[in-house]
Amino acid sequence: MQTILSIAIIITLLTSVFIIIKFGNLKLKGPNPVPIVTFIAILFTSGLDVGLIMFPLTEFAIYNENTEYQFTNPLAIEFGFWGFLVWGFYFLTTFYFCAIEPKLKLFEIPLIKLINTLIIVSTCAFTGYLFFSYLPDYINNISEFNRYSVLGIVIFLAVLSSTKLHYIKLLSVCSTLLFLILLSSFWINSNIDTKEAIETTSLLVGYFENLHRFISPITNYHAFYLFWWFAWSIMIGQFVARFVNGVKTWQLLVALLTLPSIPIAVWFSILYYYHTNAIIISDLMSISMLIVGIIFVINSLDSLIRLYTENYNLTFKKLGAKKYILINFSILYGLVLMYQMTPFKIEWVGLTVIGLYSLVYFLIMVKRKSLK
């Protein structure tokens, strides 16, 4: 399975290089263009979830102890799992849905539409399931009733937000601002001086020095992350492509690789400083992390709900408020609960996405004359 994953990553990277060489100056524009700041906010919050906020503090120690990660420092490893190169997956799919899909309409083919919709629904529900599974780690001594209640509230708000693109865009911008406020508060609370900040952040160089190591799975856990990025790649590209506002292809690549990675790098550096200096995180700060993380989950879910409902025209406008909310809430809440009783893994979704990539690549070659 990891061999398939490695081959898929190499092919996507080579494809991205080909796109830049051949279409680097092509201007891309979606049907609902927004300013670049809003676009990055939508991409950042739709393509990430609570894991970005909460996972690093639990993972630094693992990376420090595991021999497979000893070629660099834990901060560089964590950044490699979340930043820079992996956003290239989103570049590839965003370019496709801006420049190629309008001409070929491959995702209107019934089989591809069905597979894509199932991927979206299963990943959407898996995101909720992952959040539900880790809730006891985020909230100490949470009762089962409250755990199920929090899940229900999150899904309900996500369904509500998905009813209008305006809500999704507004929530994306607001959650990005809240994340920056959270980041600033952690920075101030750490009392880190300029020299320490530079020394800590400079550890990220370890990622770029070992960039080649992150192209293929380092461990099974790294493979999990890579499959996770693959699972999200098509649907996030499909969603955010509509907001692209006339940028050139090379500018889109630079934006996707760097702009989301900068706040990720700063956030991880601050958390790593907390980790290495054993700084205690207060209850208020923990609650703040959880709130921002929950909003990220809502942002992730609402964009995916919007996608799969539009695929089969089960929209808010067609169904009406009551039916739309009831149907989508029931589907997602039910699937999240079902995942507790199944051995479902995100790796399976990632493999399915890789298979869909292969089918799309083949069809592009068959219909390449239509692109001229």
Question: What tens digit of pLDDT does each residue of 290-343 get?
Answer: 888 888 889 888 888 988 898 888 888 889 989 999 999 998 998 888 877 777
Question: What tens digit of pLDDT does each residue of 43-77 get?
Answer: 888 777 778 888 898 899 999 999 999 999 999 99
Radius of gyration of the chain from its Cα atoms, rounded to whole angstroms: 20
Closest CA to 175 of 326, 303, 310: 303
Compare 327 and 344 and report the one with higher pLDDT.
327
Share of the chain above pLDDT 70, in %: 99
Average pLDDT over residues 219-231: 92
Say if residue 283's pLDDT is above 80.
Answer: yes
The pLDDT assigned to 335 comes to: 86
Q: Which two tokens stand for residue 216?
A: 């293929």
pLDDT band at 28 (very low <50, low <70, confident <90, very high): very high
Measured CA angle at 95 (ends 89, 101), to 5 deg: 115
Average pLDDT over residues 24-34: 93
The pLDDT assigned to 57 comes to: 86
The pLDDT assigned to 58 comes to: 87
Say if residue 1's pLDDT is above 90.
Answer: no
User: Which amino acid would we find at residue 3?
Assistant: T
Cβ atoms of 325 and 160 closer than 8 Å: yes
Give the 3-state secondary structure of the chain.
CHHHHHHHHHHHHHHHHHHHHHHCCCEEECCCCCCHHHHHHHHHHHCCCHHHHHHHHHHHHHHHHCHHHCCCCHHHHHHHHHCHHHHHHHHHHHHHHHHHHHHHCHHHCHHHHHHHHHHHHHHHHHHHHHHHHHHHHHCCCCCHHHHHHHHHHHHHHHHHHCCCHHHHHHHHHHHHHHHHHHHHHHHHHHCCCHHHHHHHHHHHHHHHHCHHHHCCCCCHHHHHHHHHHHHHHHHHHHHHHHHCEEEEHHHHHHHHHHCCHHHHHHHHHHHHHHHHCCCCCCHHHHHHHHHHHHHHHHHHHHHHHHHHHHHCCCCHHHHCHHHHHHHHHHHHHHHHHHHCCCCCCHHHHHHHHHHHHHHHHHHHHHCHHHHC
Question: What tens digit of pLDDT does each residue of 247-262 get?
Answer: 999 999 999 999 899 9
Q: If you average pLDDT over every residue of the chain, what do you get?
A: 90
The pLDDT assigned to 249 comes to: 97
Average pLDDT over residues 136-152: 88
Q: Which two tokens stand for residue 300?
A: 């992730």
Cβ atoms of 176 and 45 closer than 8 Å: yes
The pLDDT assigned to 372 comes to: 63
Cβ atoms of 99 and 244 closer than 8 Å: no
How many Cα atoms are found within 13 Å in the side-chain-facing hemisphere of 150? 22
Phi and psi at residue 36, in whole multiples of 5°? -60, -35
- Judged on CB neighbours under 10 Å (0-12, 13-18, 19+), 354 is buried
> Which CATH number applies to 2-371: 3.30.720, 3.40.190, 1.20.1630, 1.10.4160?
1.10.4160
pLDDT band at 287 (very low <50, low <70, confident <90, very high): confident
User: Which amino acid would we find at residue 49?
Assistant: D
How do beta strands 27-29 and 245-248 pair? antiparallel
Share of the chain above pLDDT 90, in %: 61
Question: What tens digit of pLDDT does each residue of 174-197 get?
Answer: 888 999 999 999 999 999 998 999
The pLDDT assigned to 245 comes to: 92
Cβ atoms of 271 and 57 closer than 8 Å: yes
Segment among 93-97, 154-158, 171-175, 199-203 with least mean pLDDT: 171-175
* Other beta carbons within 10 Å of 13: 15
| Residues paired with 29 in a beta bridge | 245
Cβ atoms of 43 and 233 closer than 8 Å: no
Closest CA to 358 of 253, 230, 266: 230
Compare 370 and 122 and report the one with higher pLDDT.
122
| Residues paired with 247 in a beta bridge | 28
Q: How far apart are CA 90 and CA 241, in angstroms?
A: 10
